[in-house]
Structure 1
Amino acid sequence: MDIKVKDSNGTLLADGDNVTLIKDLKLKGSSTVLKRGTVIRGIRLTDNEDEIEGRTDKIKGLVLRTEFLKKS
């Protein structure tokens, strides 16, 4: 099972890549909003090709959909 994870532009993503948000995202269960242009460093791929795990300076353990990301 070889999952190919792509960002919103169709660029392949790999473990450890840095990605940038292309849209403001409100986090579920929190009043925090991740602004467009926020860099997510050192992503990890999941079993789902539409989701990645990452972290920002303030928030750890984020699961983000690849449709809102572009490779930095």
Structure 2
Amino acid sequence: MDVKDSNGNILKDGDSVVLIKDLKVRGSSATLKRGTVVKNIRLTDDETEIEGKVDRTMMVLRTEFLKKS
């Protein structure tokens, strides 16, 4: 299974990605800002989602809003 970012680059475990859009966090009033770097990502069973730590919180992010850094 190939996991690709918004530009079509293949992502692997341990890569760093950058958010390309401001994202609201469900269940919280927080917003993740464009340009935020997510380091050391982990791939999930779904090719459209990855896991990564943002501000010491593990979050699931959609790959359509990420680009490889």
* TM tier, smaller: over 0.9
Report the CA distance between 1:22 and its aligned residue. 0.1
d(CA) in 1 for partners of 2:42, 2:51 = 5
1:61 maps onto 2:58 in alignment: yes
Match of 1:67, as an amino acid?
Answer: E
1:59: how far off? 4.0
The counterpart of 1:7, out of the listed 5, 8, 19, is 5
Match of 1:46 in 2: 44
| 1:15-55 deviation per Cα after TM superposition (whole angstroms, max 9, x unaligned) | 00000000000000000000000000000000000000001
Counterpart pick for 1:27 among 25, 34, 44: 25
- How does the TM-score come out when normalised to structure 2? 0.97
The aligned length equals 69
Q: Percent identity?
A: 67
CA RMSD of aligned residues (A): 0.7
Identify unmatched segments of 5+ residues in structure 1.
none
State the distance in 2 between where 1:59 and 1:25 align: 17
Letter in 2 for 1:69: L
